């Protein structure tokens, strides 16, 4: 189970998607077209769905707020214990935006995420339920993104590798990288806001800070 709280926005995609990584050359918004979404401000904890249908809170919490120095950017941060039981800080920056009636966030990949994708972006669609005080995140489904690229709706490259299954060789999806510009990506999301996202979503709950 993921225990580094500020990485929920970064590593969750890898957890939900398996080994195939969907990435984007450009974010879904520039700092000028991003929004300062006050609904995201506060302290959050991830909820885990149990087999009996109930949910339980994770033990670690993290904070989301405005970036103190970069206009248009937001920041998620928290603390965690490393393998040597040393207290570490973790901070991830991201851009939030509204396209039509839907909201999206773009999260830069870093060297900590592994691979050669530092500088590229991950993408999620999100909704905030004010009554439940819950944030729902849908990350990109790599297979759905592959289909969109193959149809020419977005410009990108698909990486597959041959594997042997039951004595037969077949291609396994390893990565999908979208090269479309921010403007092209926004036009696609305005027309197809749910097409490339997973049906499964992550739930974060806003909690009141202790006095």
Instruction: Quote the pTM value.
Output: 0.84
The rounded mean pLDDT for the chain is 84
Q: Are 41 and 64 in contact (CB under 8 A)?
A: yes
Question: How large is the average pLDDT for residues 163-186?
Answer: 89
pLDDT tens, position by position, 139-148: 999 999 999 9
Residue 203 in any domain: the answer is yes
CATH number at residue 82: 2.40.128
Q: The domain containing residue 53 runs over which residues?
A: 5-141+196-207
Residue 93 in any domain: the answer is yes
How far apart are the C-alpha atoms of 173 and 19, rounded to whole Å?
8
The answer for residues whose C-beta is within 8 angstroms of residue 208's C-beta and 6 or more apart is 43
Residue 185 in any domain: the answer is no
Q: What pLDDT sits at residue 180?
A: 97
Residue 164 in any domain: the answer is no
Residue 187 in any domain: the answer is no
Percent of the chain whose pLDDT exceeds 70: 85
Count of structural domains within the chain: 1
Question: How large is the average pLDDT for residues 152-176?
Answer: 88
Residue 184 in any domain: the answer is no
pLDDT tens, position by position, 93-134: 999 999 999 999 999 987 766 566 668 999 999 999 999 999
Residue 151 in any domain: the answer is no
Above 70 in pLDDT, residue 211? no
pLDDT tens, position by position, 44-103: 988 887 777 777 888 778 899 999 999 999 998 887 767 788 877 788 899 999 999 999
Q: State the DSSP string of the chain.
A: ----GGGHHHHHHHHHHTT-EEEESS-SS-TTT----GGG-EEEEEEEE-TTS-EEEEEEEEEEEE-SSSTT-EEEEEEEE-TT--EEEEEEEEEEEEETTEEEEEEE--GGG-TT-TT-EEEEEEEEETTTTEEEEEEBPHHHHHHHHHTTSS-EEEEEEEEEETTEEEEEEEEEEE---HHHHHHHHHH-TTTTB-S--EEEEEEPPP-
Residue 158 in any domain: the answer is no
Report the phi/psi class of residue 145: left, alpha or beta, with left for phi > 0 and alpha for psi in -120 to 50.
alpha
How far apart are the C-alpha atoms of 29 and 110, rounded to whole Å?
18
Above 90 in pLDDT, residue 138? yes
pLDDT tens, position by position, 20-42: 689 999 999 999 999 999 999 99
Q: Computed from CA positions of residues 1, 48, 124, 66, in that sequence, does the dihedral angle turn out positive or negative?
A: negative
């Amino acid at each position: 189970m993921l225990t580094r709280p500020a990485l929920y926005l970064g590593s969750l995609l890898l957890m939900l998607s398996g080994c195939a990584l969907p990435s984007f050359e450009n974010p879904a918004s520039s700092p000028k077209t991003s929004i300062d979404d006050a609904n995201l401000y506060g302290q959050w904890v991830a909820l885990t769905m149990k087999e009996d249908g109930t949910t339980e809170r994770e033990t670690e919490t993290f904070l989301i707020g405005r970036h103190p120095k970069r206009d248009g950017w937001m920041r998620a941060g928290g603390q965690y214990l490393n393998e040597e039981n040393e207290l570490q800080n973790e901070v991830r920056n991201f851009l939030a935006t509204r396209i039509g009636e839907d909201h999206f966030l773009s999260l830069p990949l870093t060297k900590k995420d592994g691979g050669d994708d530092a500088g590229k972006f991950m993408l999620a669609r999100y909704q905030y339920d004010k009554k439940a005080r819950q944030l729902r995140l849908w990350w990109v489904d790599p297979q759905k993104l592959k289909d969109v690229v193959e149809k020419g709706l977005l410009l990108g490259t698909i990486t597959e590798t041959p594997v042997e299954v039951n004595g037969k060789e077949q291609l396994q999806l390893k990565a999908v990288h979208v090269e479309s510009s921010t403007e092209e990506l926004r036009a696609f999301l305005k027309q197809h806001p749910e097409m490339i996202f997973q049906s499964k979503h992550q739930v974060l709950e806003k909690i009141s800070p202790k006095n």
